[in-house]
């Protein structure tokens, strides 16, 4: 079936709308963290706002843990099923999990709901990335990944700030109900315009999980999880950073989130295009920019201009890493493309959970709301070192392969040489 350019654009927009909803459900907790803490942890809030905010950060960690577990499980089991049906199943689970988050009464039950809502996150993005890459055509994998991720990043420009404002005005539960409505719209859009695409009939759980026997896959996962954790160490606690470090009114928080979202959107598209030229060069350049941006934020966050400028740069540099890491995983995964496309989000959400957890520890220890930025700086260093190790091992393997081919050619020459 030949698709018209209009149908392709509509299909890509439908996939991005699902990503938009995921961006809302994943990041809205950051802007509403004090509201969640005050409502769900009133006893702790009355004693210490810092302790309550740090514990409310577990909601972010629970979502991240759901992504980590759900992405490889769903992707490995479901790789042989038609991709459109898998996307619809993922969006349906998002809708139900987000509704439960809005309606359940206690911190513990909301924590469980956030975990459940996150289970299809990686599988959705992985499957959607494969569908988008197919629609885009050869040589545009990085751009296809970036287009799917654009829904998530654009959510941080207009969606998360709007939902944050709604949650501040009408309550965080109303905010989550609005997010569930976005998922319902995404379900309808995907059902209407995304074309049928078969799964991989040869896929088996054993074959998909076989990618974990590849050392380069583990290195790519570690690069994402450790290096990317620095962003979530900062972003999880952005609301108290704005109010307690910079000293601005809570009404400014949505505007800071807008700036972060613009940074994510710009970084995502730049990273996607750069990854199509050189994945490795993109990784190193983005990590360098990320380190500089985090250092700038740590040194200037007490001033309004420093806060806005470096929040933008931190978000842009971190977001540019995502399509590069996903493309790298797909490069080293061999036959397990479905799982590779999904577990990138497990990797990044390990970083999400790690950053939120370590940032919460430093805040609870009384080191202040700027301390997660220094945590982020420390996490960048092992991320870069892992990238160096990955490249060194790849080059060594390439040289060994070239050497083996050279020996084989020499032997062939000897065998082909006429006898004297």
CA–CA distance, 218 with 212 (Å, rounded to integer): 7
Distance CA 118, CA 346 (A): 10
Alpha helices in 137-237 (DSSP H): 141-154, 160-170, 172-193, 205-209, 215-227, 229-235
Identify the DSSP state of 250: G
Tokens at residue 361, please? 């520890």
pLDDT score, position 141:
63
Q: Report CA-CA distances (Å) from 340 to 73, 214, 347.
A: 12, 12, 10
Tell me what pLDDT residue 418 has: 47
Q: 76 is written with which tokens?
A: 């490995």
Please name each of the domains of the chain with its CATH number. 5-416 (1.20.1250.20)
At residue 274, the pLDDT reads 83
Averages of pLDDT over each 10 residues, the chain, 420 residues: 77 89 84 86 85 83 82 75 88 93 91 91 82 73 70 79 87 92 94 80 69 80 80 84 89 85 84 79 88 93 93 90 77 70 73 81 87 88 85 76 51 45
Tokens 């959400």: give the residue: 349
Task: Provide the 8-state DSSP code for 133.
Answer: H
Q: Which residue has the tokens 């079936």?
A: 1
CA atoms within 13 A on the CB side of 363: 29
Nearest alpha carbon to residue 123 among 81, 85, 86: 86
**Structure tokens, 52:** 């309550």
Question: How many residues in the chain?
Answer: 420
Q: What is the pLDDT of residue 394?
A: 80
The angle subtended at Cα 274 by Cα 268 and Cα 275, nearest 5°, is: 85
Q: What does 20-75 look like in DSSP terms, one character per residue?
A: HHHHHHHHHHHHTHHHHHHHH-HHHHHH-HHHHHHHHTHHHHHHHHHHHHHHHHHH
DSSP 305-338: HHHHHHHHHHHHHHHHHHHHHHHHHHHH-TT-HH
Check: CB of residue 63 under 8 Å from CB of residue 236: no
Token digits of residue 304: 């309004």
Let me know: does 340 contact 215? Beta carbons within 8 Å: no
Q: What is the DSSP track for 138-155?
A: TT-HHHHHHHHHHHHHHI
């Amino acid at each position: 079936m030949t698709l018209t350019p209009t149908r392709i654009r509509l299909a890509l927009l439908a996939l991005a709308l699902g990503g938009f909803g995921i961006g809302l459900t994943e990041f809205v907790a950051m802007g509403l963290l004090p509201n969640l803490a005050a409502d769900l942890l009133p006893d702790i809030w009355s004693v210490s706002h810092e302790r309550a905010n740090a514990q409310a950060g577990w909601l972010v960690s629970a979502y991240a843990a759901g992504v980590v577990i759900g992405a490889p499980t769903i992707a490995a089991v479901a790789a042989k099923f038609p991709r459109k049906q898998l996307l619809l199943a993922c969006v349906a689970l998002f809708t139900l999990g987000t509704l439960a988050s809005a309606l359940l009464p206690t911190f513990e039950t909301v924590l469980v709901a956030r975990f459940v809502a996150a289970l299809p996150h990686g599988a959705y993005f992985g499957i959607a990335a494969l569908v988008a890459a197919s629609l885009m055509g050869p040589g545009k994998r990085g751009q296809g990944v970036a287009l799917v991720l654009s829904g998530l990043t654009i959510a941080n420009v207009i969606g998360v700030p709007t939902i944050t404002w709604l949650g501040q005005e009408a309550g965080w539960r109303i905010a989550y109900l609005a997010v569930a409505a976005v998922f319902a719209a995404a379900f309808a859009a995907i059902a209407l315009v995304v074309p049928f695409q078969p799964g991989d009939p040869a896929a088996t759980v054993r074959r998909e999980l076989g990618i974990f026997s590849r050392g380069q896959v583990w290195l790519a996962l570690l690069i994402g999880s450790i290096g990317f954790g620095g962003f979530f160490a900062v972003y999880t606690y952005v609301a108290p950073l704005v109010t307690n470090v910079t000293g601005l009114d809570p009404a400014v928080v949505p505007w800071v989130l807008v700036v972060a979202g613009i940074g994510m959107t710009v970084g995502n598209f730049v990273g996607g295009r750069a990854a199509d030229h050189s994945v490795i060069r993109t990784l190193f350049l983005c990590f360098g920019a990320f380190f500089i941006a985090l250092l700038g934020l740590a040194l200037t966050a007490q001033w309004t201009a420093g806060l806005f400028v470096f929040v933008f740069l931190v978000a842009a540099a971190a977001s540019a890493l995502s399509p590069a890491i996903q493309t790298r995983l797909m490069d080293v995964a061999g036959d397990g493309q479905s799982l590779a496309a999904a577990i990138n989000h497990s990797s990044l959400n390990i970083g999400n959970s790690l950053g939120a957890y370590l940032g919460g520890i430093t805040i609870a220890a009384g080191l202040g709301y700027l301390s997660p930025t220094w945590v982020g700086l420390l996490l960048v260093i092992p991320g870069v070192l892992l990238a160096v190790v990955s490249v060194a091992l790849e080059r060594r393997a390439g040289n060994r392969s070239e050497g083996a081919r050279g020996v084989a050619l020499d032997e062939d020459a000897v065998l082909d040489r006429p006898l004297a």
